[in-house]
Structure 1
Amino acid sequence: MTTFEGWPGDATAFLAEIAADNTREFWSVHGHRHAAAHAPMRALAAELEPEFGPVRVLRPYRNRRFRPDVPPYRTDVGGVARSPGGCALSVVLSAGALSASAGHWSFDGRQLRCYRSAVDGPAGDELALLLAGHTVDRGRALRGTPRGFRADHPRIGLLRHGGLQVVTSWPVGEWLATREPLERVRRAWRAAAPVVVWLDAHVGPPEPVAPRPRPSAVPEPAG
């Protein structure tokens, strides 16, 4: 399936049901229905790729290796592309909405320092103008004042962000069964492009995560 033709009604119904009963027992009986949400997402990703680059479609299974307390299955379907500077361009369908976002969900230490330094200077005025008209995810914003800055800083709101992404969401409806989702996501990512360019220039990609060392297989010497 390479041409996106929308999502069938059972796609969001299944996502609502897996959110309510996120168990292996439910999945063993109903897991085949995940294709109603997943296959159209793959088709959507394929149509976005020529303009935005490869879009990685998320698997339904959560990685619980380091978070065994999280539910075993995702309650949404999504895809992620990357800008040249490492920004995530994301599209996510849940039981209640289709959302498109662009930016960094969370900055690492180096990115945060670069971001605050840029916002503190002339580039901060540019960013404020670029964000006008966008909805900014404020989920990781500090309530207090970042260390080294005054509470009356003219861009204190931007300085409080621990990540920066712009988000556009649309409630689910009959339009999901058409090609309209493709056009909406495409327009949202295009509209976010100036913000992405700013983040690529002033923040850059996250630092690579060092692999965790494996436990040594050599037995300890007897005492």
Structure 2
Amino acid sequence: MSFAGFPDEGLVFYEGLEADNSKTYWTAHRADYEAHVRAPMAALLEELAPQFGAAKMFRPYRDVRFSHDKTPYKTHQGAVVTLGGRGAGSWYVQISADGLMVSGGCWRLESDQVARYRRAVADDVQGPRLEAEVARLRAGGWDIEGDRLVRVPAGFSADDDRIDLLRHKSLHATRHWTPEDWLHTPAVPTRVRDSWRDLATLNVWLGDNVGATTKEPRPRR
């Protein structure tokens, strides 16, 4: 199946799910999700795979075991491509009733990864490289996001260079488009492809300086 666009019916499906996040609604509209959300997302990822690699499409079900929000279904469809073998640095794409979102960077880092990230930010060579790349992305319209400490991280001073970056526990850049006509056309892969290319330097920096965690996986509860 070649990608022809995200049908308006998929956005309407998510509008309905936001209003009625229940098994009853999901069961009645499951075919709409499969045809108008999951199928076009799979086709989009197939077009992007030759350049960026295979993607993981996330399940539509929420993990409510440890959440105060017990609604059972996600109100968006997301997918991620991890920079091969680097351990940190990924591309992300998401469709919802709000439109299309693309992002890149890292979302969850273990403590050993955060420590390596901060050492690199404080380094006189790697730190300025990240600082310049973040400034370039922000000037290009990207939102720079990620979990951040309010306080100064241990071992650093409020007067340290790049203190804003040092506060980060994760770091990613995000761009969002509200629903417009082009979202329903084959123009989408070009938008996503160009955006992911723009994030390549950030992802390479994270792969080189943060890498994979060395911690043992957490046992599943």
On whether the aligned pair clears a TM of 0.5, the verdict is: yes
1:124 paired with 2:123, answer no
Q: How far apart are 1:106 and its partner, in Å?
A: 2.3
Listed as ranges, the matches of 1:160-175 within 5 Å are 160-175=167-182
Query: Aligned to 1:196, what secondary structure does the other structure show?
Result: helix
Match of 2:152 among 123, 145, 158: 145
Provide structure 2 residue ranges, at least 5 long, that are not aligned to the other structure. Answer: none
What do residues 106-141 of structure 1 show as CA deviations (whole Å, max 9, x unaligned)? 221011000000001121101011122323443411
- After the TM superposition, which of the residue ranges 136-145 and 77-86 deviates more from structure 2? 136-145
Rounded to whole Å, the distance in 1 between the matches of 2:169 and 2:192 is 25
Provide structure 1 residue ranges, at least 5 long, that are not aligned to the other structure. Answer: 214-223
Aligned residues: 212
CA pair 105-70 structure 1, distance change in 2 beyond 3 A: farther
TM-score between both structures, scaled by the size of structure 2: 0.89
Q: How far apart are 1:147 and its partner, in Å?
A: 1.4
Q: How far apart are 1:208 and its partner, in Å?
A: 5.4
Q: Is the 8 A contact 1:136 1:164 kept in 2?
A: no
Q: How far apart are 1:178 and its partner, in Å?
A: 0.7
Query: Aligned to 1:132, what secondary structure does the other structure show?
Result: helix
TM-score between both structures, scaled by the size of structure 1: 0.89
The match for 2:113 is 111
Identity score, percent: 37
Letter in 1 for 2:44: L
- What is the alpha-carbon root mean square deviation over aligned residues? 1.7
Q: How far apart are 1:64 and its partner, in Å?
A: 3.5
Q: Is the 8 A contact 1:88 1:104 kept in 2?
A: yes
Match of 2:161 among 145, 154, 158: 154
Letter in 2 for 1:116: R
The match for 1:71 is 71
The match for 1:209 is 217
The match for 1:61 is 61
